Amino acid sequence: MAALDTQTESQLEQQFALAAERFEAGDISGAQAVLEDMLTKVPDHPIILNYLAVIAHLSGDLIRAEGLLRNSVKIMPDFFDAWNNLGLVAFGQGKHEDAAHAFQQACSLAPEAPDPTINRAHALQAQERFNEAVEAYGRGLAMQPDHPTAWAAFSRACLEDGRWQDAAFAADRQLALKPGHTVALALKSVALQQLGEGKAWRELVDFDRLIGAFDIDVPAGYADLATFNKALIDFCQNHRSLKYAPSDKATEFGSQTNNLAPETDSPVAELLLAIGKCAEQYRSERPLSSDHPFLSQRPDNWECDIWATVLENGVHQQSHIHRVGWLSGVYYAQKPAVINADMPASDMAGWIEFGRPVFYPKAKAEPMTRCYPPVEGRLYLFPSYFYHRTIPFFSETPRISLAFDLRDRPVTRQVPFIDYVDG
């Protein structure tokens, strides 16, 4: 970048101050206009490019943000902020190798800064370079032991690498910082199984104590549950958001809707009333208890997200957790005739299974599981950190259910971070 005279530098400082003022006031387009004007006068100014990239990132234009940042670091190779931002933008695009490189450049410029080290660990983990990720997390967390979410990511990397004791330790560190952290509880449950800590696992994943089954009352305005379920089924199957095999969900070869909670003029609203009633009963039967990490952290106020899942012939849901919830559940509106609550233990096709974690290549322990049958008009409530899946089944009649999360209002127990990794 060419040297600037004193007058130009002074004008740039004034314009930077104006852009920052507008940005802080929430006038993003106003800040962008000032910065774009500055760029016409100094087209190779790396700091202007970096600021514009931040705005592009906020607006969702990751391609432009990446281009601006690459120009910025080309002009100023020792620009820490631009390298770190480039890593974030690349990560957001799924370019994990590029992200790891950018974060490594940021680390070399600021070796004592924990964020790029931890962010690099996320990028390494996304590339399944788990051993390297574990080492990077260790360095970053040594610099910032109170990082709000990285211990959970560290725990998962340890599970992938077969370091069960380290995974349990990291999950406990996350829970010490954020008691009740859903992902950390799930990851700890996996580590306990692999360590052979059966008693501790059964206390944490207590099927008998923490899973509740409820048969709902007939909602007002409906003759019976069959009529209500038919209205619910028709609404869900014809909903505009119903999508086949969404890439960001656990549903394989089935269909799922977006959140239906805003649909206040629909049968879903009646179901939400029933869910609320059952949830209150669940809480009253399981009072606050300091001896359990789930019951000791329940929210006083919550809101509900709910979505429909339509599973057809041969499809299923992978084992998963609900990371933003405290209490989760599922309501069954329709089940195929081949799924029967009286099936023998050897044939539980279409049932919901709890306790089987996601696949970890070095895991040896046989998971402890419990299965429950889908019954039309019944809902199950369970802690959001419980792994669960649908056992595959074969039927021409779809299995239609509505899953939901009861979560803090607003979400305060877990902060949405770039370092989100599910268990």
Which two three-digit tokens encode residue 70?
Answer: 């690459």
Q: Confidence class of residue 315 from pLDDT cuts 50, 70 and 90?
A: low
The pLDDT assigned to 410 comes to 62
Q: Confidence class of residue 101 from pLDDT cuts 50, 70 and 90?
A: very high
Q: Please, what is the average pLDDT of the chain?
A: 89
Q: What is the dihedral of CA 200, 202, 206, 208, to 10 degrees?
A: -140
Residue 91 exposed, middle or buried by CB count within 10 Å (0-12, 13-18, 19+): buried
Least confident of 108-122, 138-152, 325-339: 325-339
CATH 1.25.40.10 location in the chain: 1-111
Enumerate residues 6+ apart whose C-beta is below 8 A from 194: 159, 164, 360, 363, 364, 365
**Torsions phi, psi of 289, nearest 5?**
-145, 120
Q: Model confidence over 9-37: pLDDT tens digits? A: 777 788 878 888 888 888 888 988 988 88
Residue 290 exposed, middle or buried by CB count within 10 Å (0-12, 13-18, 19+): exposed
Least confident of 61-75, 286-300, 368-382: 286-300
We find that the CATH architecture of domain 1-111 is: Alpha Horseshoe (1.25)
pLDDT of 417 above 60? no
CATH 2.60.120.620 location in the chain: 207-408
Rg of the chain (C-alpha set) = 25
The pLDDT assigned to 414 comes to 40
pLDDT of 355 above 90? yes
The pLDDT assigned to 420 comes to 34
pLDDT of 393 above 90? no
Cβ atoms 193, 184 nearer than 8 A = no
The pLDDT assigned to 25 comes to 86
Q: Model confidence over 194-230: pLDDT tens digits? A: 999 999 999 999 999 999 999 999 999 999 999 999 9
Alpha carbons 304 and 328: distance in angstroms, whole number: 9
CA 95 to chain centre: 19
pLDDT of 419 above 60? no
- Strand ranges (E), 161-249: 212-215, 243-244
User: Angle at Cα 92 formed by Cα 18 and Cα 174, nearest 5°?
Assistant: 100
Q: Confidence class of residue 6 from pLDDT cuts 50, 70 and 90?
A: low
pLDDT (average), residues 394-418: 71
CB neighbours of residue 81 within 10 Å: 20
Alpha carbons 208 and 226: distance in angstroms, whole number: 29
Alpha carbons 375 and 372: distance in angstroms, whole number: 9
Fold of domain 207-408? Jelly Rolls (2.60.120)
pLDDT (average), residues 320-328: 93
DSSP letters spanning 118-154: HHHHHHHHHTT-HHHHHHHHHHHHHH-TT-SSHHHHH
The pLDDT assigned to 272 comes to 97
Q: Model confidence over 244-278: pLDDT tens digits? A: 866 555 555 678 999 999 999 999 999 999 999 99
pLDDT of 421 above 60? no
pLDDT (average), residues 187-198: 97
Alpha carbons 258 and 281: distance in angstroms, whole number: 27
Alpha carbons 194 and 185: distance in angstroms, whole number: 15
